[in-house]
Structure 1
Amino acid sequence: MSNREVVVLSVGGVRFVTRASTLQQFPESRLARMLNDDDQEFKLVNGEFFVDRDGTLFSYIMDFLRTLQVSLPTDFSDYQRLQREAEFYGLSPLADLLSQEHLLKPRLEILEVRFSLQEMQAFFRIFGSCSTTVETLAEQITVFAGQQSGQSWNSPFPSQKPLLPLPLERPSHHDMVFQCGTDYSAGDQFVARYVSIKPDNRKLINGTNVLGLLLDTLLKDGFRLISTRTVSSEEKIECYSFERMKRPAGLTV
């Protein structure tokens, strides 16, 4: 039977179809020996291998055999049962990874957005407990700047220079600072700053619109808004706090 290309297994009533090479990733495992009729625990019935074990947990074992990574759902909690199943199938590399439960469990991640609206400008500061998340968000956000003369502002054909991307301010690995709106501090010239947040392609200059897009982006990324508060009513600083459970990247053999 070792020359089979496609293998069908019925594990606890759940049917799996896979390649023989997938089951042979670890030659010393019981799944690999099964293909050579070297393990009586697995019965061949009507062309399918019958295994009286947990079919739901076996789906994670199949995922491991296909990817050589342990990647579990955020709400997964049956680490000991899955480790026991891995030991049953003779998959010691998987059992060893599952023994590092503290590395696999999701962790609470906090992110805070501070928003300040001052005249024609809006200022943003984002702080996150996970530097990787902040880095990813920084790659999504682009600030564009362009200059325009005050005289041409009321002209039906205003002359505006092309918008140029500006680097975000990164005080640390855990935060970023940027702004949008118009700044008239340059004499008869003013600087207009626009913000774009991927995957949205719009360039927004209004601070309230940028805030709405930013909050929507975070919610779509799995964050949950847990509180809003006014840090300073005089300076009009608002604070939005988010949290989410983030699972570490899958462990690899």
Structure 2
Amino acid sequence: MSSNTTVRPHGRGKAALIATMLVVSVMASAAPAAADGKPAAPTAQEYLAWLDADNSAEAKSVANEFKALSAENQQKFLGYLVDVEVLKAAEDVRADPDPDPETKTFAAGGDVTFEVDSGATPEPDGTTAPKAAAAAKARAGDWNCYYAFKQKVLGITVTTLKLQQWYHSTTKKVDKIYNVAATKKNWNPGVMISNEPEEQWISGAGNALAFVTWHGDATVSGFTVQLDKRQHIRCDETGGRYQYMKNI
């Protein structure tokens, strides 16, 4: 799998699809499994060599985090990279719209986390009056909002999928969209992730909408795991409204 960041700027587009999470279908293959029947994990030396070949600051940071783990946790980390149940666990992460800008789901007894984070810049001023909150936060000007999904194994970020868009609003609605970009980081050598062109448009309600479709394939000894997902964000004159992570 390539660990490089993919940024594909895309102009205005029209679509009506929604967002993403990992949907996993597992099929037995003819490839041999390890002696105990489980997929074979890379060795610590193989994993570090793979990171070193990337020759990026991010890869070096991951390598340092991995080296800081105890020998026992290094083996657990490598095992989770090819653990089909861990991959399948992402399928259960919340897929519905949620106003909470940050959520976390746990797997493998807490060793693996799936985190969702979102935000907008500049941050508008808030208010403690619920009924006046939306109006008080409205701001005319340029905006940048994002929505990111991260998978962490023993505290180390293994996968990051981020969707970000730029737009302009009046104090009432979005009146211009500039750009949208999807970026990825992946530090699992057995997984390949790609994405279709991003789409961005202004809705009839005056919101800036954007989505991207991700495709992933995990190759582990004895199993083939396919991951497909859509990631969607809706933003307006108050910043981020909400985001979706939905299986496809």
* TM category, shorter: under 0.3
- With the length of structure 2 as denominator, give the TM-score of the two structures: 0.26
Higher helix share goes to which structure? 1
Q: Say which structure, 1 or 2, has more relative contact order (CA 8 Å, 6+ apart).
A: 2
